[in-house]
Structure 1
């Protein structure tokens, strides 16, 4: 913690949740959730695709309130409506306009008004349970639409199921079909408990309408749940939705453990306090109010993406093999899980940013992440670099979990099996490990170029014709620099464990970046399989041997040996002069390649020497 005096506002009050929500993606925006929560409940204004979906500020319609906004995963959209139309018409047209003028968004809480139905909606959550509060117009129909099929963000849904299990409860599951990134389907289970009794259920599935049912099962399925709205029936409806990757029973158990009451206001207050406690780990003063808002908003975002996937009892679903298997995390003497199991977007970019934050400000989280990564190794044989729903995704390139685990050890976070971790990381840095796989290379081990790296000390660009058939991001010199840095961190780990031979071996590999430096051009440059340089060569050509970057940007990726890079360039003065010139040029371009990830490939944005946007 930085011991500075407190600001006038509590950190939680300085968070601006709408920041960057205009150009968002499925798992970016958050409102009704807890730090790293399994449940991430919020309105969806966009449904199609991972990049243009979720809560998008400039979209004018709410299309449902879904409970999982995670890396390659979504689940269980529910929408309160008030309509006298037939279910066949409702399911085709139920979206509602809303206005930001009547909206309140805070960490752990979201409130808005559905203009079409005149319904006030409030949302909050615990770690694994979404909590809804709907205020319907008095005397008008009170209904909730539960969507089990279709598409939400990164996922298209397969078989879904929901059934009545009591007068006030419905349980079931949705199936996230496999994606290019997540190769196995993933089920997400739910248990929905209502404060008022259910009066009627209608359903649809496979294009057929089914009135007066107790459930449904099939493709493109859903339910319309109705409640009594006549006479003195209350206009307020409360709903608790437990979520689990394991079973309906565990979804219910998560409710029993985390939310056994119906006090909505208490959960809102508890969530605010929870967020404030996490954000207060770092205190800042000085600057403007806007700068402090930006800091705590960014810190709030840093406490979201690595979603929990284990239940309150420590059970989780292992999807690293050919079939899904329910397993149990280790428990302490009181039956409490020793750590949470997590999803994760790529550690590829995070190794330079938020992965350095967690062990400093949130050591328990860093410990959980480390033990979670080792659990994947024990289950599937490899430490991942971005798992999703218990699946390996092989997102991006390299062994980007290595710097994170080594950093934790160096900072004294050692409540994990150190020898197991070291053995697992060594495997990741071999031809049998994750370094051998390019992005999303699920079933082969060629796109990572590891054989070339081990034999030649660099990865060619392009790879040979047969090797380049599989995987994304096959960018030889960029991968070479990345592997060299990660080898450096593994060498440091070996030295700390007094493994002298390994230290010597990996430290030598960490110098491989020199093999792709071209002294004539002054840049890291693509090298062919036969050892010749790429000709012609343009250092500002986007993705010319570098992942989501150009050679001019990638040349600086030698963080572990700046003196060595300076020597290659002709001395420190030359390095400093070149770096200064790169920043001066990039300053004119706003230090980014446009305003969105997609802009980087456009000619007018791609020729920049520094890109903070990626």
Structure 2
């Protein structure tokens, strides 16, 4: 009766319904510590591990309130599990990225005793405000984080709303307890100028300006140029407060390698301390408020964040966290996560596999995050503030990664997020006058990171799936400009294998859209250019080969395919990326039997732990479609075998549970799709390859919120041994294909798979 009562109450109040009477809620399975390490040593490669953060956020929210353990190095998330200190709690973070990272702004630290104004990373300069923390007391859940700072005997709890966050500090008995804010702090560098003003007896407001001169994204090479505005309130009145302001010389370099050094902290230690200063602008500022506390007294601080204005930050806070009820804010964050995660419902698998699954799904729901305020205002690429209520302005588009799995997943469960991101990219190209689509967008910056034209893939895949709530003609024009600017062009190659193959794919994508929109000349032109991948194939070597600028072959290395470098990989890995013309690839490589044998060898040489390697390197994106190629080669049982092995071995419920950078949802989206039993090879062709699900039943809520439907994948007789599909039915009728269309998925229905322990080499051959 209790369970029935709980079900009815959830339904009446609009809360997410329990998954089933025998399971926890989806959010209860989330372990934000999965992947939360930047350690190069643990990864065995300089790229590090997952680089996720364990702090509190909400689905696609602007705020990520997370502990930061170190400033410096390639620590894009601001947190790494093996570090023994917490510097403070920042209100913005990136998830799963390399290239030094960015954000990590508005760093808040509770302290006691004397005031320290540097973190304390350089022992020869003395101690600082950072604190050791007790790992046994550390706790992370969807929308909540807590840890005890042992140097201050202070418990810190964090939770968040979409544009704001709230911290609860439980202090010891102290004459001088304190909340201090390092306004200059930034992952990968420093804010170059800051402003703070005391508004009233409980509130402050201000901003932090972050430019390429201060490092950050790509240590400045990512061209990040943004301002974070804040409005902060304290539950205790501002009676003893002040600021510190360090004298930064005009000619002082302030990139990552500069601010990491002890000499920079020595400069900060010369800061002027200004009690009761009500307003100040400077190059390296901090703010503090001090008070007496009783033993185990709770003091709260809540903050609204905006990329638009101080008034926007205030409005964000007042609308989302109008009171001081920390627990209610936490419960609301949990409710949002359960609603978002309930779009995929799984049955079966082990407890660990369910934890890995829902944490993976959680990681796919962090980006692309909101950039607009609660009223729809957002900063445009022209430096002006724009107002839009037609779509949600989004940011952090890790294109080279996420076009492969993340956006195909969101096209099923969150199509509005896909159209929002396309609208954001198209309007940005309008606003900044570039009129092409950026491959790695960060807070309006055209960072130029990575390669290819992934935004073209996302636009075309969305259009072909019926997601068209954007200016299609303008998107087409900018996609064409993008391919002309960065494609293989009339020369027919881009030199390196990675570039030529990736560009050929995006040219194929553009040809599809040109054909759909009635541009036959363009369709023919880009269809021809889509074949340009062949221009980097050397028939004498039987594989793809890098070219020099003048078009001649580069030297063939002694180690062969695995010794020939490509972008973040080797030519053996990159050479499989011809998703748009697999028949042509097979013809080049000597026929189906030869290709299948080569692919089997490719997988069998891969280490069992799937760590960084020269063969199937799941830690990096260029191979993510490869396990599903067997479906296209007439050997679908091998797709079933290897996708299951990867799911079972490359993902674990641990800090080291991701074999490579999480990459803004991509690594996790691969798992969500593959473990569910579907995955695309070629975004843009609407075909999802069918493979062996890890779970007995997976139910997707598909389509838009106005007309949701259910699409279920059922694996009868599923078990670790029974990993091969024996037969299938779609909506009750026999189904002999090893793939399913996007249209069949979003129409709703049921795909039933009968599983067995031996391959059925006859099924899926149509």
**What range is the shorter-chain TM-score in?**
0.7 to 0.9
Q: 1:510 maps to which residue?
A: 530
- State how far apart, in whole Å, the 2-side matches of 1:52 and 1:263 are: 31
Q: 1:416 maps to which residue?
A: 470
Q: 1:438 maps to which residue?
A: none
Q: 1:490 maps to which residue?
A: 510
Matched, 1:455 2:490: yes
- State how far apart, in whole Å, the 2-side matches of 1:61 and 1:399 are: 40
Q: 2:715 maps to which residue?
A: none
How does 1:14-93 map onto structure 2 within 5 Å?
Answer: 14-23=29-38, 28-51=52-75, 54-70=78-94, 72-83=102-113, 85-86=114-115, 93=128
Q: Aligned match of 1:566 in 573, 576, 586?
A: 586
Q: Does the 8 A contact of 2:66 with 2:145 survive in 1? A: yes
Identify if the C-alpha distance between structure 1 residues 191 and 74 changes in structure 2 by more than 3 Å, giving closer, same or farther.
same
Of the structure 1 ranges 125-134 and 25-34, higher mean CA displacement relative to structure 2 is found in: 25-34
Give the CA deviation at 1:27. 6.8
Q: Does the 8 A contact of 2:606 with 2:613 survive in 1? A: no
Residues 178-211 of structure 1: per-residue CA shift (max 9 Å, x gap): 1433325321111101122111112211222222
Identify if the C-alpha distance between structure 1 residues 157 and 538 changes in structure 2 by more than 3 Å, giving closer, same or farther.
farther
- State how far apart, in whole Å, the 2-side matches of 1:580 and 1:129 are: 50
Give the CA deviation at 1:498. 2.7
Give the CA deviation at 1:235. 2.4
Q: 1:315 maps to which residue?
A: 377
Matched, 1:373 2:425: yes
Q: 2:366 maps to which residue?
A: 304
Q: Aligned match of 2:456 in 378, 388, 402?
A: 402
Q: 1:214 maps to which residue?
A: 278
Q: 1:478 maps to which residue?
A: 498
Residues 403-450 of structure 1: per-residue CA shift (max 9 Å, x gap): 11111111111111111111111111113xxx2xxxxxxxxxxxxxx5
Q: Aligned match of 1:154 in 188, 213, 221?
A: 188
Matched, 1:590 2:630: no
- State how far apart, in whole Å, the 1-side matches of 2:473 and 2:176 are: 62
Q: 1:357 maps to which residue?
A: 409
Residues 27-77 of structure 1: per-residue CA shift (max 9 Å, x gap): 721421111211100111122134366121111111010001136323100
How does 1:418-437 map onto structure 2 within 5 Å?
Answer: 418-431=472-485, 435=486
How does 1:246-285 map onto structure 2 within 5 Å?
Answer: 246-285=308-347
Secondary structure, counterpart of 1:68 in structure 2: coil
Of the structure 1 ranges 555-564 and 488-497, higher mean CA displacement relative to structure 2 is found in: 488-497
Q: Aligned match of 1:187 in 224, 227, 232?
A: 227
Identify if the C-alpha distance between structure 1 residues 32 and 86 changes in structure 2 by more than 3 Å, giving closer, same or farther.
closer
Q: Does the 8 A contact of 2:242 with 2:288 survive in 1? A: yes
Name the count of aligned residue pairs.
552
Matched, 1:141 2:155: no
Secondary structure, counterpart of 1:227 in structure 2: strand
Matched, 1:169 2:203: yes
Aligned CA RMSD, in angstroms, stands at 2.7
- State how far apart, in whole Å, the 2-side matches of 1:350 and 1:540 are: 30
Give the CA deviation at 1:87. 5.4
TM-score by length of 1: 0.84
Secondary structure, counterpart of 1:395 in structure 2: coil
Matched, 1:199 2:239: yes
Q: Aligned match of 2:384 in 303, 325, 332?
A: 325
- State how far apart, in whole Å, the 1-side matches of 2:584 and 2:21 are: 43
Q: 1:334 maps to which residue?
A: none
Q: Which runs of 5+ in 2 are unaligned?
A: 1-18, 40-47, 95-100, 121-126, 247-270, 621-645, 651-658, 662-766
Matched, 1:96 2:96: no
As a proportion of its length, which structure holds more strand?
Answer: 2
- State how far apart, in whole Å, the 2-side matches of 1:274 and 1:311 are: 18
Identify if the C-alpha distance between structure 1 residues 387 and 68 changes in structure 2 by more than 3 Å, giving closer, same or farther.
same
Q: Aligned match of 1:114 in 121, 141, 149?
A: 149
Q: Does the 8 A contact of 1:216 with 1:223 survive in 2? A: no
Q: Does the 8 A contact of 2:174 with 2:292 survive in 1? A: no
Matched, 1:524 2:578: no
- State how far apart, in whole Å, the 2-side matches of 1:582 and 1:42 are: 40
Identify if the C-alpha distance between structure 1 residues 538 and 171 changes in structure 2 by more than 3 Å, giving closer, same or farther.
farther
- State how far apart, in whole Å, the 2-side matches of 1:550 and 1:404 are: 25
Residues 561-601 of structure 1: per-residue CA shift (max 9 Å, x gap): 1110010111111111111111111246736339xx9x99x
Q: Does the 8 A contact of 2:369 with 2:396 survive in 1? A: yes
Residues 357-402 of structure 1: per-residue CA shift (max 9 Å, x gap): 1111111211211211112122122222222222211111121111
Q: Does the 8 A contact of 1:244 with 1:251 survive in 2? A: yes
Secondary structure, counterpart of 1:132 in structure 2: strand
Q: 2:641 maps to which residue?
A: none
Give the CA deviation at 1:279. 0.9
Secondary structure, counterpart of 1:225 in structure 2: strand
Identify if the C-alpha distance between structure 1 residues 183 and 167 changes in structure 2 by more than 3 Å, giving closer, same or farther.
same
Q: Does the 8 A contact of 2:78 with 2:104 survive in 1? A: no
Secondary structure, counterpart of 1:424 in structure 2: helix
Secondary structure, counterpart of 2:145 in structure 1: strand
Give the CA deviation at 1:152. 3.0
Secondary structure, counterpart of 2:80 in structure 1: coil
- State how far apart, in whole Å, the 2-side matches of 1:456 and 1:584 are: 37
Identify if the C-alpha distance between structure 1 residues 6 and 571 changes in structure 2 by more than 3 Å, giving closer, same or farther.
farther
- State how far apart, in whole Å, the 2-side matches of 1:129 and 1:580 are: 50
Q: Does the 8 A contact of 1:48 with 1:152 survive in 2? A: no
Q: 1:12 maps to which residue?
A: 27
TM-score by length of 2: 0.68
Q: Does the 8 A contact of 1:358 with 1:365 survive in 2? A: yes
Q: Does the 8 A contact of 1:458 with 1:480 survive in 2? A: yes
Residues 276-305 of structure 1: per-residue CA shift (max 9 Å, x gap): 111111112222111111111111111113
Q: Does the 8 A contact of 1:216 with 1:222 survive in 2? A: no
Where relative contact order (Cα < 8 A, 6+ residues apart) is larger, the structure is 2
Q: Does the 8 A contact of 1:169 with 1:192 survive in 2? A: yes
Secondary structure, counterpart of 1:566 in structure 2: helix
Give the CA deviation at 1:109. 0.3
Identify if the C-alpha distance between structure 1 residues 539 and 175 changes in structure 2 by more than 3 Å, giving closer, same or farther.
farther
Secondary structure, counterpart of 2:304 in structure 1: strand
Identify if the C-alpha distance between structure 1 residues 252 and 589 changes in structure 2 by more than 3 Å, giving closer, same or farther.
closer
- State how far apart, in whole Å, the 2-side matches of 1:373 and 1:480 are: 24
Q: Does the 8 A contact of 2:224 with 2:447 survive in 1? A: no
- State how far apart, in whole Å, the 1-side matches of 2:497 and 2:77 are: 34
- State how far apart, in whole Å, the 2-side matches of 1:567 and 1:145 are: 65
Q: Does the 8 A contact of 1:539 with 1:550 survive in 2? A: no
